[in-house]
Amino acid sequence: MPQSLSPNDIAAVKAYLMSLQDQICHALEGFEPNLVFHEDAWDRPNGGGGRTRVIADGDVIEKGGVNFSHVMGDTLPPSATAERPELAGGRFEAMGVSLVIHPKNPMAPTSHANVRLFVVHKDGMDPVWWFGGGFDLTPYYGFEEDCISWHQTAFDALSPFGEDYYDRFKVWCDDYFYLKHRGEPRGIGGLFFDDFNELPFDQSFALMRSVGDAYIKAYEPILKKRQALPHTEQQRDFQLHRRGRYVEFNLVFDRGTHFGLQSGAGRTESILMSLPPEVRWSYGYEVEQGSEEAKLTDYYLQARNWLGR
């Protein structure tokens, strides 16, 4: 059973998350010497609020958002109780950092990460808590060394907590970020976990911190290598079509998007911040067999073992 938690525990998680948002924004601003993140601080009448930070129209980052939120609500939405019906009717608070970075260059991958704490308060029960999060990478043109380094950083983040966590959370990520109606993964995966409270609170929090800290370690070197590679208009067109898959996943399948919109606890502008600024759908769009574009889905977007383990 998960241990109980105190207001000090919740405050410690909140302080970490706000610091993580600062650290990631600072690192990403290093790619844009003439731009900084625009911050939009907001409050909710029912309690809580957040800091939405967006950077756009940069030389490297076409659009990026790094959000912190801490929100409360009187009733859990259906997306939060689907697998925990005993919590229906409970009050909740949720806090987390969620981010998506859409680079301009089609050779540079989109990245996504989030880490969060969820607490449910229900009369007659001790507070129920769990952590969640992860990070995943969505390339448009694949580079094997990027896939390996991304997954190695994920493995290193979890190895202090147990040998099986990387394997479990990698499979979870592959299964979760999957477009069922397309029959294809969204990207090359990474880590995903939710409803996590199998370790004591302090250790569970430490695991979440390790995942949060690992994101920028994994992404920054990849973006540095790919940000200025030459590309063609045809490759840009392919990137815009592939971004459509990203939009489809976020609107159709993403639990965080559904929770924010169903609960009314979030802020619509912040929830939909993850959508790319430009995207394209063309009826009957296909790529040439054997091309680099086809290699993306035929080779890279497969649930493979990138570390040879």
Would you please indicate which residues are annotated as catalytic (active-site) residues?
112
Residue 114 assigned as binding residue:
yes
Other Cβ atoms closer than 10 A to 74: 12
98 is in an annotated binding site: yes
Residue 278, CA distances (Å) to 62, 237, 286 in order: 9, 10, 19
CA–CA gap between residue 3 and residue 151 (Å, rounded): 31
* Distance in angstroms (rounded) separating the CA atoms of residues 18 and 13: 9
CB-based contacts of 57, cutoff 8 Å, min separation 6: 35, 63
Please check if 102 is assigned to a binding site: yes
* Phi-psi map region of 245: left, alpha, beta (phi>0 left; psi -120 to 50 alpha): alpha
Under DSSP, the state recorded for 2 is P
Whole-number Å distance between alpha carbons of 43 and 24: 22
Closest C-alpha among 255, 259, 265, 2 to residue 128:
2
128 assigned binding-site residue? no
Q: Is there a contact between 141 and 291 (Cβ–Cβ < 8 Å)?
A: no
Nearest 5°: phi and psi at 89? 90, -5
| 253's tokens | 């399948």
Chain-centre distance for alpha carbon 127: 26
C-alpha of 57 from chain center: 21
State the binding site for a divalent metal cation.
102, 112, 151, 181
- In the annotated binding site, the residues are 98, 102, 112, 114-116, 151, 181
Residues of each annotated binding site for substrate: 98, 114-116
